[in-house]
Amino acid sequence: MNRHANIFTGLLSRLRTSQAGNTLAIVAAALLPLAAMVGSGLDISRGYLAQVRLQQACDAGVLAGRKLMGTAGVLTPAVTAEVRKYVRFNYPDSYMGSSLQDANIVPTLGTNDQINLSISTTVPTVLMTLFGRQTMAVAATCSGRNDYANIDIVLVLDNTGSMACKPERDGTDCSNWIFGNGRSGQTMTVNGKTVTYVAEETSGGVNISRMQALRTALSNLQSQMATIENQFNVASPGSRKRVRWDCQDFRVRPGG
């Protein structure tokens, strides 16, 4: 019996000091943490892609909503629906296995008519679920405002008789009309002197001259400038925005 005990003791002693097969044991022991590292890298990459996509969707949503809101300054249900539509289009449901509901897309109105939005969702893990991590949270915050850059407006005005013709007349046709019709009998007294002026062309009692077209254009410009001015009024004082005007007198020969 002592003989068998000595053999067993010698075997254990040799196993304790032997280095054969150590690599296999080390690899087997390292498989678990190695799998955890690879899995975390994969899932973190998926989470990053989802977060980038969510941020893009957030930005698109508030920009679309701010454009629709215009100068009203009111976050209407239509504006909210527009924000949600663009967010969901750019971040479709089930993207990376996540889910984004309308209840999570709630824009708010901030200062200077700015639309703010914060959205979040969870992305299910692929490999980290084996280690107890089922999901990863991703979130995005964005805001949209309607700003105008500095605007330079130059008005080049033709103050010659050619402005009395309708736009369709070319140079020669306009010149013939001016001297044949536009100036005929059109006089007025200015500072005791009688001067001749060119009457604007009409058709059926309606003014169809180039000058009338210019009046319409300037009226539209005035309306647009009122919109721009309103945006400037709500802009932050540090924005230093401005509108510059310049009128240039451009003279041409009648009909030119």
Q: Check pLDDT > 60 for residue 235.
A: no
Which of the 8 DSSP states describes residue 201?
P
Q: Check pLDDT > 50 for residue 253.
A: no
Q: Check pLDDT > 70 for residue 22.
A: no
Percent residues over pLDDT 90 in the chain: 22
Q: Check pLDDT > 80 for residue 50.
A: yes
Higher per-residue confidence, 105 vs 36 = 105
- How does pLDDT run across 62-85, given as a tens digit for each residue? 999 998 988 778 899 999 999 999
Q: Check pLDDT > 50 for residue 256.
A: no
Q: Check pLDDT > 50 for residue 241.
A: yes
Can you give the pLDDT at residue 254? Answer: 43
Cα(73)–Cα(231) distance, integer angstroms: 10
Tokens of 103: 């209840």
The whole-number average pLDDT for the span 190-194 is: 82
Can you give the pLDDT at residue 190? Answer: 78
Cα(57)–Cα(61) distance, integer angstroms: 6
Higher per-residue confidence, 235 vs 179 = 179
Residues 127, 42: contact at Cβ < 8 Å?
Answer: yes
Q: How far apart are the first and last CA of the chain?
A: 130
Cα(104)–Cα(201) distance, integer angstroms: 61
Can you give the pLDDT at residue 80? Answer: 94
Q: Check pLDDT > 80 for residue 39.
A: no
Residue indicated by tokens 């590292």 = 37
**13-17, 61-65, 218-222: range with lowest mean pLDDT:** 13-17
Cα(137)–Cα(120) distance, integer angstroms: 7
**Nearest of 249, 247, 245, 211 to residue 225 by alpha carbon:** 245
Q: Check pLDDT > 60 for residue 40.
A: yes
Residue indicated by tokens 């009688």 = 194
The length of the chain is 256
Sketch the domain layout of the chain as residue ranges: 21-144, 151-250
Amino acid at 89: F
Q: How confident is the model at residue 197 (pLDDT cuts 50, 70, 90)?
A: confident
Cα(223)–Cα(218) distance, integer angstroms: 9
**23-27, 89-93, 163-167, 218-222: range with lowest mean pLDDT:** 23-27
